[in-house]
Amino acid sequence: MRILISGGRVIDPASDTDHIADVVVDAGRIVSVTRQDSVPVSGFDRIIDASGCWVVPGLVDMHVHFRDPGQEYKEDIFTGCESAAAGGFTTVCCMPNTMPVIDTPDKVRYVLEKAENACGVRVLQSAAITVGQRGKELTDFASLKKAGAAAVSEDGHSVADIKLMREALRTAAGLGIPVLDHTEQPELRDAGSVHRGAAAGLTGIPGIPEQAEEAIAIRDMLLAQETGGAVHLQHISTSGSLDLIRFAKKRGINVTAETAPHYFTLTDEDIIAGGGNKEIYHRCLSPKGVTVDTHRKMNPPLRSSADRQAVIEALMDGTLDAIATDHAPHSAEEKSRDFLKAPFGVIGLETSFAVSKTVLVDENGMTPSRLIELMSVKPAEILGCGGGTLAPGCRADIAVLDPDKEWTVPASGFRSKAENTAFAGMNVCGAVVMTIAGGRVIFEN
């Protein structure tokens, strides 16, 4: 299919492009990015008027949970891909903590083969670091990579055995695959469900200290230094972790790190449910009788306002390399439980661009190019999966975004099976107009 995307603001950080231009797509590839109106309009199957919009490389989310296999009542590969497409994402990387755990080549192939019949979003799969994620024995990284695994991860928890984690980093380095690292010391988290801060005191909910994240972050960065492995720290939420990452990068350690939109948008005090529209909050009572919102329970938890500001600054200065959603669907019944019993996690694919653009660009002055670097270029680079660019000859993965569209995040009606969004009721500015994957329109708003 031959497509002309005309008159949009083409933002391609990989080629230092940021100007009004026309993009030509043919046979699933980018043909050219040229001066506006320089391309004859005849001979196209479709002409898309992108005036007033950003035309960017398809977004890449390197941290999602599609719950398939085993918990398809929460999400499956098909609905997960539909949700991703609606969010402007053309590539996602699924975590392995499914039921059963993705720890063998056959299970990797199951996901990748099923994804071929989804809407067109490219699905990458990370495989478990240890067999069954039990922390006792490494999986066969080489055979997992051969089956198509893009990375290894123990997401959901950390590898407790320091020697085993060292061997994982060494083995992954030899194979050239990244280790996606859930940074959490379980003994320090204990029974905590929120940040150990103001909200914990007000609600009586047990708190999780910052050190639960920071202890594993520094441990695994030092292991990466010793082994030469590439470690990618997931869902970073504390200012202390950010200081440690800066320290590690100055020492030349091969570390990258991500955060999620909820960590630069909300704080621990936002778990307390306010008044207004009852649909906005998923209410239950805390041990001290304070009304709290289980849709704002995630792990790591929402942190303090100082941590939130530190995350924003780290996204600005390059300490953090990527924005990932940690899209974690749960059923309404599960999130309706008491706060201490409700599962951790929130969805995020369909709100990530709008929330990120509103908070980072509109409120904090980030350049659009830096935002797209964080949401497309760097995640693709870390995963080594290609994409993240509109360079001629590359696969035509493109998002067309309206930066000025104002809307309110709803409490329901997502393409995901789940509705556990942390952002219901938030006024945002920025929307996905169209998503093109491999030269085919897979979402149009």
Q: Cα–Cα distance between 306 and 289 in angstroms, integer?
A: 27
Q: Is 72 exposed, middle or buried (0-12, 13-18, 19+ CB in 10 A)?
A: middle
Contact of 280 with 328, CB cutoff 8 Å: no
Q: Are strands 427-437 and 440-444 parallel, antiparallel or unpaired?
A: antiparallel
Helices (H) and strands (E) in the chain, counts: 13, 20
Amino acid at 106: D
What are the DSSP calls for 118-168, one per residue?
SSSPEEEEEEESBGGG-SSSB--HHHHHHHT--EEE-TTS----HHHHHHH
Q: Cα–Cα distance between 169 and 28 in angstroms, integer?
A: 36
Among candidate residues 435, 423, 415, 271, the one with its CA nearest the CA of residue 352: 423
Q: Cα–Cα distance between 409 and 322 in angstroms, integer?
A: 23
Q: Cα–Cα distance between 357 and 366 in angstroms, integer?
A: 9
Catalytic residue, candidates 103, 307, 326, 397: 326
- Residue 326 catalytic? yes
Q: Can you state the angle between helices 162-175 and 211-227, rounded to 10 degrees? A: 50
Contact of 121 with 440, CB cutoff 8 Å: no
Where in the sequence numbering do the catalytic residues fall? Answer: 326
